[in-house]
Each structure stands twice: as C-alpha cells, then as structure tokens.
A and B are shown apart, each in its own frame.
Chain A
Amino acid sequence: MIEKRDVTLTINGTTHRVHVESRRTLVDVIRDDCGLTGTHAGCEHGVCGSCTVILDDTPVRACLMFAVQAEGHRIRTVEGLAEGDVLHPLQRAFMAHHGLQCGFCTPGFLMLATSVLERDPHIGDEELIDLLASNLCRCTGYQNIIKAVRAAAQEMRSRG
C-alpha cells in the first residue's frame, strides 16, 4: 500500500494541485508533476546543489525535502526569474561573463545567487565565494560564475 496525498504547491506565484506519493521529493514533483523542468536533479543526496530552489526567501536543496512538506510555502524556481521577455540581471550576467558551459548546474547557481543577493546586494567577496561554494559545477571552474554574480550584484545595487 503506497500512500498518496493531495498537495497544493505555490511555485512562482502559480498554484499547482498534484496527487503524489509522500516519498516523492520536492525536486521530482516540481519537474515531473508540475512540468517545471528548469530545476535539475543531480546527485539527489544534497551534495551538488543543482536542485536549489528558494523556499520562503531561503535557498534549500529540493532533493532533501518531500513535496508534502512544501505545502503552504512560497517556492521560486528558475522559471520565475525573468519578467516576461526580460531576463533577470543574474541571467544576463551569466551570459555576458560565460558563467555556464553545459548549463546543468546553472539553475541551481541562479537560485542560490538570487537569494543571496536579494538578502544582501552589498555582500563582501569572501562571504560571496563561501556561499557559492555550496554548489558544484563540473565545467566552468567557478571563476566566471563568481564574476557573473559580482557583476549582477553591482547592477542590482545601482538599481537600489
């Protein structure tokens, strides 16, 4: 007997009603049941950060939460970053500074960096690098990711 539950998730302001097994992780439900495949599942045990989403303003590993636990919380994924056709400053900075190659890790880095810069756009370099060390990238060597986030921080600061 496998338990299934009705779960209501609020993702990027949109309500998704799904009927899922309790054991389904948030990342799997976001991808497979809500159809938002921008969030990636890499290691599925908390190490890589590719599944990072923002839950009520804080970054979390979506592979280490069950979807049933996210009911009643605000979830933001990479699909919610752009406003219409206008990309988020972080997305533009990743393009401009070559902050991605294969792109697998990118949604996780974007959500991590978004939550970090929204909390403190004046964040110091040392702390920024420490925070970005939360996620893994197998392509870029990190330098361009750091450059991109610094550039976006500057733009977000100048906008106030």
Chain B
Amino acid sequence: MSVREPGQPDDTDVADARLYRVGKPCITWHIDWAREGFGTPSSMKPAPFRYHVPKSVDEAVALLAQLAPDDGRVLAGGQSLVPAMAFRLARPAHLIDINGIATLERLAADGSALTIGACVRHAAFHRPVADGPLGRLLASVVRHIAHYPIRTRGTFCGSLAHADPASEWCLVAATLGAEIAATSARGTRRIAAKDFFTGIMTTALADEELLAEARLPLLPAGTRFGFQEFNRRAGDFAIAMALAVYRVEDGVIADPRIGVGGAESCPRRLAEAERILKGQAPRGDLFRAAAGAAAAAIDPIEDPATPAEYRREVVAAVTRQALERAAP
C-alpha cells in the first residue's frame, strides 16, 4: 500500500486510499487487490439499499437529514458511486436519487458567474455554455473526462462532491475559484473551492448536505487558457494535469492562475509558479521556470505504477504545455 497520505493515517484514510485506487478505471486493480489482500470480488453486484426519489430540493435535504446518519447518500450520475457499489467498497443503506429534481438542472450565467446545478451533466459542456473564455475553457476540458457515454450521465457537481484527486472539474473549480453551495435542512452555506477540497475524496461537505450548485466566475474577455493532462490511455484518470489561465496586458502577464491536479491529494493553485509569471512577457524560458517551480512545490502522491518523482516530472511537463497552449 503506497498511497501517501498527508498527516497520520487512520482507518478512514486507509479506506479512502482503497477507494481511491479502485475508483480508477483500470483493469490492473484486480491484480492490485489480489496482491494486497483486499480479496478479489466474487460478484460485481451492489449490496441492497432503499431507494428514494425526492421531487424537490426541500424533500431531498429532509431525506438527507433523516437518512445520512443511517448511511444514506446522494445518487447523482452514478458514474463513480455505482462502480464503488459494484465492488462493495461503498454499501450505502439508502440512496437519494436527485435526478428527478428539475430545479437542479439550472445552467445559467448572470453578470458575474456561471451557475451549475447538481443535475447538469458533463456532456452539457461540449458546446460553450457561457459567452467568452469560460465557455470555451469548459468545452476544451470536458473532452478529457472519461468517455462520452459516461459524460451523458455523470455530473459536474457529482465530480466536485466525489473529489477524486484527478478530477478535471475539481481542478477547474480550484483554479478559477468556484463557490460551492451546500444545502441542508438548516439552509445553505457557500464554500470557497480552496476550503472545499480537504483530502483524497474528502470535502468540506457534511453528510447531510446536498451540493446544490457550483458557481464559476466568468472570465473577462481576452483571458487566455491552456489545459494539459497526461494519462496512458485516452479517457483514463490523469497522472497529472495543469490548467493555466492569464491575461496579457501591455505585453506582460496579468492575473496568472496556475492549477495542478492529479498530483497531490487535492487540486490547488500554485502561488510559487504564479509569482514567476506575473508582470513578465510570455515566453518559453519563463514557462519552463514556472513549470519547474510548480513541480518543486508539490508533494506528489504515489501508486505502484507511478513513483512520486515520476509524477513530479509529469507536473513540470503538463504545466509547461498548459502555459504554451495559453500563449498568444
């Protein structure tokens, strides 16, 4: 077992780490399990649960208040939860299916932000959903998430709630500074992305809270972006990925945002790289220096196929490529 956890590992960390490994669609998991003594699953059938279909957010959060203590969980696109249930890594006693709640399908931009409701699927972003750079950014990133038949079900907010370290949407949320609305029977609180992701597949969301919507700030006209990820096969979770977003004003870089995902337990912005870029003319050696600073700043996670130092080198490469893609 070589997934590196920050802090002292306790039982939940170990459970999370297992889920993390198994959450990756790769046939070699079976081999990993057999080797590591988790046992090969004899069946791929989910354990029994009680199914609930609320028709409104009020009804959903009332059910969550009542059933979360009894291991009740939200079922959104099911594209991460159902595989985990098939492996019996998750055995929720109750599933609260939010797919029938029409108000959660909201996908709309106001003057300052794009609101993405909990039932908005990945596939919605194939065409730009907002004017300007943000819509184009989301359309270019979505093509890296799994495959199309998974994108027709999986949701943007489900990705944030699931918080896989290699989730593209989590990287976008962290880099752009999303605001996440967590609704419970007691009301709604808004959580900044930087406070939302707290570890591998762990977030600030409480068990009885519904992630009702996420808000992404619109990007001013002229904002440039570049996204790059590396994986061994198209559609797999990335070994590392980077998102670079900046403007060029009077020939120099303004408001740089460099986010790295898949490399640490949570995606985050890297101030070390942003500092190097700010106020400088965009050019190759500057990008290399910023990419080197990003790679030096991270504490890479490890798995048997991916040693930490290898992942660090991948971070340097994808960060440089993301910066180059963004360049004028």
What residues make up the interface of A, taking CB atoms closer than 8 Å to B? 2-3, 5, 21-23, 25, 28, 43-47, 49, 52, 55, 58-61, 63-66, 68-69, 112, 130-131, 133-135
Contacts and interface: CB of A to CB of B under 8 A. Distances in A.
Contacts of A52: 149
24 contacts: A5-B51, A22-B49, A22-B95, A23-B48, A23-B85, A25-B45, A45-B25, A46-B25, A46-B82, A47-B25, A49-B149, A52-B149, A59-B152, A63-B82, A63-B86, A64-B79, A64-B153, A65-B78, A65-B82, A66-B51, A69-B97, A130-B234, A131-B147, A133-B147
Nearest to B43: A44
A32 to B, nearest CB: 11
B235 interface: yes
A22 B25 contact: no
Given A2-B48, A22-B48, A61 B149 contact: yes
Contacts, number: 92
B234 A133 contact: yes
Contact of B48 (A3, A58, A131): A3
Interface residues of B, number: 31
A23 B82 contact: no
B281 interface: no
A50 B26 CA distance: 16
Nearest to B236: A47
Interface in B141-181: 143, 147-150, 152-153
B252 interface: no
A69 B119 CA distance: 14
Contacts of B150: 46, 61, 64, 134
Interface string B275-288: 00000000000000
B44 interface: yes
Given A65-B78, A66-B51, A60 B27 contact: no
